[in-house]
Amino acid sequence: MSRRADAALAFAGVARHPVWLRWGRAAALLLRHRGEGLAILRARLAGKRVRAGQAAAALFGLNHAGLLCGPAAQGRLLQAPAAGGAAGPRDTVAVLTLADLASADLTSADLASADLAQGRPSEASRAGAEILVLTAPGHALLPGAPAILAEAFARSPAHQLAYGDALLGSETGLAMPLLRPAFDPDYACAVAYCGPVLALRASALAAVTEREGPVTDALDLILRVAERFGHGAIGHLPRLLSRSDAASTGMPDPAARAATLRRALDRRGDHAVTIQVEADGVLTLAHPLPQARPRVSLIVPTRDRVDLLRTCITSLVGCTDWPEREILICDNDSRAPETLAYFRELEAAGIARIVSCPGPFDFAGMNNRAAAAAQGQVLAFINNDVAALHPDWLERLVREALRPDVGAVGAKLIDGRGRIQHGGVLLGPGGLVTHAHRFFSGEAPGYLAGLRATRAVAAVTAACLVVEAHKFAAVGGFDAAAFAVDFNDVDLCLRLNAAGYRTLFVPGAVLRHDEAASRRWTPAAQERHRREVAAFQDRWGPLLAQDPHYHPGFDPDLGTYARLRPGWPEAGPVDLR
């Protein structure tokens, strides 16, 4: 099949740009930004590795080339002991191909006779194979993988289906580790990031094929298990289990995946959801909108900086095709005559309402005050240094925000150099939070298509955050007492998550963000930041240990999706998550 169909793997090809090209680009940047280059050198000479690495990422940008592993590095990744259980894989595990599941003339003797066994679900049970490992052409299980999976299922009775990590490439050349996040149904529908190597209980396969018949592909199996047992029954095992060669991925083409997804949507009554097959193979779902479009209140905090505000408001008016909207500007003691004149101009034209928010800068409190004055069913919080780039940005976000199980949704934000500023918020890297794919090219597909696929994340930035007003009110809005300026957006998303909603990153909505262009780091601001850091760690500390949407194998200090963590994988058993 064509590599074009593997949208989840597009990032691996980008990482293989010639070394001379990467060095040439770096040299050109150093010539233009000599001061920043000298600062990186001084940090390096002073032994401040992390600081130097972060500064280098900001200057040169990031890519996935640092993840590529030669033979020696691959050997280190595969050194962790396979499994310690007494039972061998033949006692509990049968290995099949996905194509075998559609066969109707296989015997239980076939299951018991070879590592590559074949059979129907009921025959698997009679043969004593409790766990079925499904592979595909071009994919090979790594030594010990069946035993690792059997032990993981034994430690987690609630899980019915599991997937692990893989190496893409040969043993003798370069290989890209495919380190997957925890299961996310939206992500799985958009791109084939889970399979095709899957493992499941034989009893689960029997249950999901009883009414619908044989499964057709990996996505079909995943969706049926999720429907039958719930999303929590699908687990990720953060361990390398298989290897595939770069030319053969064993995945169905996008049209076949779209047909599988269409059947699943129709089974659960989602007939109005449409599927768009994008040029790169990503599947984009458009959830239906009510006939009467809900009003959206666009809330923009500011203190002077009319240069930023004018650009922002002009884009919200001229580059937003959502028909029912209002703009509220939270004015935090603006004094500049040109700013006040602009406010009068906007109000006279009926373009915006000005909500007075006097006193010390309180981002959370200002937004709460404007939200209380808003007339919209949907709230869209927008920084004054953000500008819309495409007219459909708000519709894309509102479609997701109106889903009953979704809380906050956020957009892909591009910085002034055309690089990713926000690709969702990750918990844990650097000890607090960071933006996923920060400093990658704005055109990058993202690791496992993470910058192309709508997917769940821990949080999104309030630089562009959309949420239904009743959901925002139900959790008390932004916590201005604890997080007046920093972490209020992440805290809001985590409280929405705790209330049973999901936070989504929607990369189809793209805006520009000149981050913190209007902030001043005074001594008082630095002290306030330290207090808010302490409060955030106190409230959400356990969640900072490991974001389920981010793999523990990545280096937590040197950017996201850019380096492997030294020492990973550790020896010993690993649990499904």
List, for residues 354-401, the tens digit of each pLDDT value: 999 999 999 999 999 999 999 999 999 999 999 999 999 999 999 999
- Give residue 290's pLDDT: 96
Residue 117 has pLDDT above 60, yes or no: no
Which amino acid is located at 429 in the chain?
Answer: P
- Give residue 125's pLDDT: 43
Identify which has the larger pLDDT, 272 or 83: 272
Average pLDDT in the 10-19 region?
A: 70
Do 76-278 and 296-517+525-543 share a fold?
Answer: yes
- Give residue 286's pLDDT: 97
- Give residue 253's pLDDT: 86
Residue 326 has pLDDT above 90, yes or no: yes
Pure H helices in 66-195: 71-77, 89-92, 108-113, 121-126, 145-155, 185-190
- Give residue 214's pLDDT: 92
- Give residue 85's pLDDT: 45
The pair of three-digit structure tokens given for residue 424, joined into one six-digit string: 């969702």
If you write DSSP's letter for every residue of 509-543 in order, what string do you get? Answer: EEEEE-TTTT----HHHHHHHHHHHHHHHHHHGGG
Please state whether beta strands 198-201 and 131-135 pair in parallel, antiparallel, or not at all (unpaired): antiparallel
Q: At a CB cut-off of 8 Å and minimum separation 6, what does 508 contact? A: 284, 392, 396, 412, 454
Backbone angles phi, psi at 569, to 5 degrees: -85, 145
Residue with structure tokens 């192309």? 452
Q: Are 494 and 456 in contact (CB under 8 A)?
A: no
- Give residue 1's pLDDT: 36
Percent of the chain with pLDDT over 90: 72
Which amino acid is located at 267 in the chain?
Answer: R
DSSP state of 290: -
Candidates 367, 373, 383, 410; CA nearest to 503 is 410
List, for residues 267-317, the tens digit of each pLDDT value: 999 999 999 999 999 999 999 999 999 999 999 999 999 999 999 999 999
List, for residues 224-235, the tens digit of each pLDDT value: 999 999 999 999
Q: Are 410 and 436 in contact (CB under 8 A)?
A: no
**Domain covering 76-278 in this structure, CATH number:** 3.90.550
Per-residue confidence at 106, pLDDT binned at 50, 70, 90?
very low
- Give residue 430's pLDDT: 74
Residue 4 has pLDDT above 80, yes or no: no
Q: How many CB atoms lie within 10 A of CB 454?
A: 23
Q: How far is CA 288 from CA 285, 291, 429, 468, in A?
A: 10, 9, 36, 16
Backbone angles phi, psi at 294, to 5 degrees: -70, 145
Average pLDDT in the 63-92 region?
A: 75
What span, in angstroms and rounded, lies between the C-alpha atoms of 138 and 170? 11
List, for residues 197-243, the tens digit of each pLDDT value: 999 999 999 999 998 899 999 999 999 999 999 999 999 999 999 99
- CA quadruple 117, 122, 126, 127: dihedral, nearest 10: 0
List, for residues 510-520, the tens digit of each pLDDT value: 999 987 555 56
Per-residue confidence at 77, pLDDT binned at 50, 70, 90?
very high
What span, in angstroms and rounded, lies between the C-alpha atoms of 298 and 374? 9
- Give residue 6's pLDDT: 80
Candidates 10, 508, 446, 8; CA nearest to 284 is 508
Candidates 453, 425, 448; CA nearest to 438 is 425
Which amino acid is located at 144 in the chain?
Answer: G
- Give residue 61's pLDDT: 77
Average pLDDT in the 465-483 region?
A: 98
Q: How far is CA 310 from CA 48, 156, 305, 384, 520, in A?
A: 40, 55, 9, 9, 20
Average pLDDT across the chain, whole number: 87
Residue 556 has pLDDT above 90, yes or no: no
Q: How far is CA 35 from CA 56, 59, 67, 209, in A?
A: 12, 11, 28, 64
- Give residue 47's pLDDT: 62
- Give residue 109's pLDDT: 37
**Domain covering 296-517+525-543 in this structure, CATH number:** 3.90.550.60
If you write DSSP's letter for every residue of 50-90 in order, what string do you get? Answer: HHHHHHHHHHH-B-SGGG-B-HHHHHHHT-S-----SS-HH
DSSP state of 4: G
SS3 at position 315: helix
Domain boundary assignment for the chain: 3-70, 76-278, 296-517+525-543
Which amino acid is located at 195 in the chain?
Answer: G
Identify which has the larger pLDDT, 71 or 572: 71
**Lowest pLDDT segment from 81-85, 478-482, 498-502, 544-548:** 81-85
Average pLDDT in the 493-501 region?
A: 98
List, for residues 30-63, the tens digit of each pLDDT value: 666 666 667 666 656 666 555 656 666 666 678 8
